[in-house]
């Protein structure tokens, strides 16, 4: 129970803070150093506090590629101390823009944001949540789920001989490939409105990499355009929080479309399609002033994995030898060769119940098959179970055990983005389902 006064009714509030670093900051999301040359769009931390019958849940979406474990724990602890909201009831997610600052190492070349940036960012995250709590108004809350299959593609293609190749290499070399990997088209939406019907804030979850814009400028990519589209469509200047679903192996690239290219225009196109779907969902949503809220929490500890045969094999996943990736992985092998002691990492997992839906945090870039496994086995049903990845920390890519046998980009051992034991995926699935069961069995469910 949080430390605020217990009261009946439903409330919602939002808060937004600017977290844009200076131009010239290194950009995250690359295996080589990329220095920003300007600011195409401001980066933000957006928060919403939902309250019903005295219980509060917090979502915070941050325009960075990943959230460091230490940052997530610090912010959640500070929120608990400042507002009395339990740390387990705070879910902090990275929008996963690749054009945000480096806040945790993803390669050895990139320079992290200046020494004062992380404390500044933490302060801004806390401030956005405090503002959201202090601006709560009597409200109605609604949850909806729809589908948008036209934007999601499994990026792990297969050659005729079964080898994996990534869909983001030159399309001319992919003509003999097939795409039979799974995708998840489900779009989840939380809408909060005041008693006059004015939208207070929105939370969107979609299993898609937020990295279409590219370039060398700072910007929030698809999710930033999505906010503009939804604000225009709904006629409401409200924050739109974007959380990625299980999309470690899913992106927006159709390898069969020779005309498709990356860039801000493509990011805007994707946002237009997704935003139009969400506006229709928002307009048809059933709003309630008595929606039950609850949360449960657990921890999971997972060891790092040693080098494996696949890490020494050129499997052609980048289209051939001589790419920048070759030197990147060779350097990692050199550093890890002969290493015998492996760290164990502990991660926080929370599950929020909002009415008849459950929203589950996960710190990794979870493969879509793992997310689908949770959804298919969840007592809330597939359309009532929402996976929120890259939340409350960072655990790198979380592939399926099958993917480790197949090879490809995401399964190769790195220092920062693919490093956990090969059974991490099933373990995250089991822990997620355990929390679903706890919430579903509560007497006050629904």
pLDDT in tens, 159-194: 999 999 999 998 888 989 999 999 999 999 999 999
The pLDDT, as a whole number, for residue 444 is: 56
The pLDDT, as a whole number, for residue 390 is: 98
Contacting residues for 146 by C-beta, under 8 A, at least 6 apart: 186, 187, 189, 277, 278, 280, 281
**Both structure tokens of 329:** 């992985």
Give the residue from 396, 382, 399, 366 showing the smallest Cα distance to 246: 366
The pLDDT, as a whole number, for residue 5 is: 42
CA pair distance 446, 380, nearest whole angstrom: 11
**Burial classification of residue 238, based on how many CB atoms lie within 10 Å of its CB (0-12 exposed, 13-18 middle, 19 or more buried):** buried
**Burial classification of residue 123, based on how many CB atoms lie within 10 Å of its CB (0-12 exposed, 13-18 middle, 19 or more buried):** middle
Contacting residues for 25 by C-beta, under 8 A, at least 6 apart: 35, 36, 101, 102, 113, 114, 117, 218
Number of Cβ within 10 Å of residue 284's Cβ equals: 10
CA pair distance 338, 336, nearest whole angstrom: 6
The pLDDT, as a whole number, for residue 73 is: 97
The pLDDT, as a whole number, for residue 443 is: 55
CA pair distance 216, 282, nearest whole angstrom: 34
Segments of 199-290 assigned E as strands: 199-206, 217-218, 240-244, 250-251
Chain-centre distance for alpha carbon 317: 24
Give the residue from 265, 239, 180, 249 showing the smallest Cα distance to 209: 249
Angle at 442 between CA 438 and CA 446, to 5 degrees: 115
C-beta of residue 354 within 8 angstroms of C-beta of residue 291? yes
C-beta of residue 83 within 8 angstroms of C-beta of residue 129? yes
Residue identified by tokens 């939370």 is 203
Number of Cβ within 10 Å of residue 383's Cβ equals: 16
The pLDDT, as a whole number, for residue 128 is: 98
State whether the Cα torsion 156-276-42-82 is positive or negative.
Answer: negative
DSSP state of 178: B
CA pair distance 206, 364, nearest whole angstrom: 15
Helix (H) or strand (E) holding 436: helix 424-440
The pLDDT, as a whole number, for residue 446 is: 46
Helix (H) or strand (E) holding 56: strand 55-62
The pLDDT, as a whole number, for residue 2 is: 43
pLDDT in tens, the chain (446 residues): 343 444 579 999 999 999 999 999 999 988 888 999 999 999 999 999 999 999 999 999 999 999 999 999 999 999 999 999 999 999 999 999 999 999 987 777 788 887 799 999 999 999 999 999 999 999 999 999 999 999 999 999 999 999 999 999 988 889 899 999 999 999 999 999 999 999 999 999 999 999 999 999 999 999 999 999 999 999 999 999 999 999 999 999 999 999 999 999 999 999 999 999 999 999 999 999 999 999 999 999 999 999 988 888 778 898 877 777 888 888 888 889 888 889 999 999 999 999 999 999 999 999 999 999 999 999 999 999 999 999 999 999 999 999 999 999 999 999 889 999 999 999 999 999 999 999 998 755 54
For helices 264-284 and 222-234, give the axis angle rounded to 10 degrees.
40
Residue 1 DSSP SS3: coil
The predicted-structure confidence for 306-340, as pLDDT tens digits, reads as follows: 998 888 877 889 887 777 788 888 888 888 988 88
Give the residue from 346, 409, 414 showing the smallest Cα distance to 72: 346
The pLDDT, as a whole number, for residue 323 is: 78
**CA–CA distance from 211 to each of 38, 65, 69, 389 (Å)?**
17, 9, 22, 15
Chain-centre distance for alpha carbon 78: 22
Rg (CA), the chain: 21
The pLDDT, as a whole number, for residue 3 is: 39
C-beta of residue 128 within 8 angstroms of C-beta of residue 15? yes
C-beta of residue 445 within 8 angstroms of C-beta of residue 369? no
C-beta of residue 170 within 8 angstroms of C-beta of residue 253? no
The pLDDT, as a whole number, for residue 328 is: 85
The pLDDT, as a whole number, for residue 271 is: 98
C-beta of residue 413 within 8 angstroms of C-beta of residue 305? yes
Backbone φ and ψ of 389, nearest 5°? -90, 170
C-beta of residue 277 within 8 angstroms of C-beta of residue 208? no
The pLDDT, as a whole number, for residue 310 is: 85
Helix (H) or strand (E) holding 292: none
Contacting residues for 82 by C-beta, under 8 A, at least 6 apart: 126, 130
The pLDDT, as a whole number, for residue 14 is: 98
Chain-centre distance for alpha carbon 446: 26
Edge-to-edge strand list for the sheet holding 344-354:
293-303, 344-354, 357-362, 385-389
């Amino acid at each position: 129970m949080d430390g605020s006064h217990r009261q009946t009714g439903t409330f919602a509030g939002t808060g937004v803070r600017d977290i844009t670093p200076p131009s010239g900051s290194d950009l995250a999301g690359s295996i080589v150093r990329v220095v920003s040359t300007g600011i195409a769009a401001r980066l933000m931390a957006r928060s919403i506090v939902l309250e019903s019958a005295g219980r509060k849940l917090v979502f915070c979406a941050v325009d960075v590629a990943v959230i460091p474990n230490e940052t997530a724990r610090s912010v959640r602890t500070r929120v608990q101390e400042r507002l009395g909201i339990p740390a387990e009831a705070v879910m902090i997610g990275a929008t996963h823009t690749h054009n945000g600052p480096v806040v945790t190492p993803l390669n050895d070349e990139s320079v992290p944001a200046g020494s004062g940036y992380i404390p500044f960012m933490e302060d801004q995250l806390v401030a956005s949540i405090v503002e959201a709590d202090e601006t709560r108004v009597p409200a109605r809350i609604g949850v909806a789920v729809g589908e948008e299959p036209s934007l999601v593609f499994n990026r792990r293609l297969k050659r005729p001989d079964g080898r994996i190749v990534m869909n983001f290499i030159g399309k001319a070399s992919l003509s003999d490939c097939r795409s039979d990997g799974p995708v998840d088209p489900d779009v989840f939406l939380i809408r909060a409105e005041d008693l006059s019907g004015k939208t207070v804030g929105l939370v969107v979850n979609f299993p898609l990499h937020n990295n279409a814009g590219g370039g060398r400028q700072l910007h929030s990519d698809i999710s930033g355009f999505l906010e503009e589209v939804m604000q225009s469509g709904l006629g409401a200047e409200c924050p739109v929080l974007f959380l990625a679903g299980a999309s470690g192996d899913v992106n927006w690239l159709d390898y069969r479309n020779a005309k498709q290219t990356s860039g801000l225009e493509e990011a805007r196109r994707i946002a237009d399609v997704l935003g139009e779907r969400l506006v229709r969902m928002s307009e048809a949503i059933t709003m309630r002033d008595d929606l039950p809220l609850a949360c449960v929490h657990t921890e999971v500890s997972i060891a790092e994995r040693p080098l494996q045969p696949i890490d020494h094999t050129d499997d052609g996943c980048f289209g051939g030898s001589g790419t920048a990736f070759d030197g990147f992985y060779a350097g990692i092998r050199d550093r890890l060769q002969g290493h015998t002691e492996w760290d164990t990492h502990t991660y926080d997992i929370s599950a929020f119940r909002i009415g008849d839906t459950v929203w589950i945090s996960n710190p990794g870039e979870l493969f879509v098959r793992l997310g689908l496994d949770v959804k298919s086995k969840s007592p809330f049903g597939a359309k009532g179970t929402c996976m929120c990845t890259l939340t409350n920390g960072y655990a790198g890519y979380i592939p399926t055990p099958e993917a480790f046998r197949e090879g490809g980009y995401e399964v190769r051992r790195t220092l920062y983005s693919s490093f956990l034991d090969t059974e991490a995926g099933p373990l995250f699935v089991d822990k997620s389902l355990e929390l679903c069961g706890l919430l579903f069995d509560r007497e006050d469910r629904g």
